[in-house]
Amino acid sequence: MVEERPIDEWRNKVEPVLLSKKREFEMFGYRGISCDDIWKCLKEKVWKHKRHFRLHEVVQDIFHLKIHTYMDYLSVNSLNKASKTKDDLMASIQAVMHQEKELKE
């Protein structure tokens, strides 16, 4: 029986499977996706509620990852980054306005 391990312990062992998935995405015209990108997507979207897996479960999830799932992951991350950037910008503007107000007083 294959033991369950924390997901990151399987990373090096499944590198050939990740490379296969990367090449599959490239065949569909999606260039610039790395094995690390695929791994991050799986960790954050597919494996977010479970942290210990058997090897065959990890391999199965990699092979079953669809391009639309990966693209959804990218879209959500992009929106989250944009929101954070907007919040950071507002905080910067407020800090500058506060400094100007203090200088006038």
Question: For the residues of 10-32, what is the DSSP string, one character each?
Answer: GTTTTHHHHHHHHHHHHHTT--S
pLDDT of residue 78: 78
Question: What global pTM score does this model have?
Answer: 0.73
pLDDT of residue 102: 57
- Please name every residue paired with 52 in a beta bridge, in sequence order, or none if there are none: 6
Q: What's the pLDDT score for residue 2? A: 75
**Which residues, in sequence order, are CB contacts of 32 under 8 Å at separation 6+?**
none
| E strand spans, the chain | 5-6, 52-53
- Condensed to tens digits (0 to 9), the pLDDT of residues 53-93 reads 999 999 999 999 999 999 999 888 877 665 555 555 566 66
* pLDDT at residue 76, rounded to an integer: 84
Please report which confidence band the pLDDT of residue 26 belongs to, taking 50, 70 and 90 as the band edges. Answer: very high
**How much is the pLDDT for 56?**
96
Q: Contact, 35 vs 16, CB < 8 A?
A: no
The count of domains in the chain is 1
Q: Are 38 and 62 spatial neighbours (Cβ–Cβ below 8 Å)?
A: yes
Question: CA 38, CA 19: separation in Å to the nearest integer?
Answer: 9
Identify the domain containing residue 17 by its residue range: 5-104
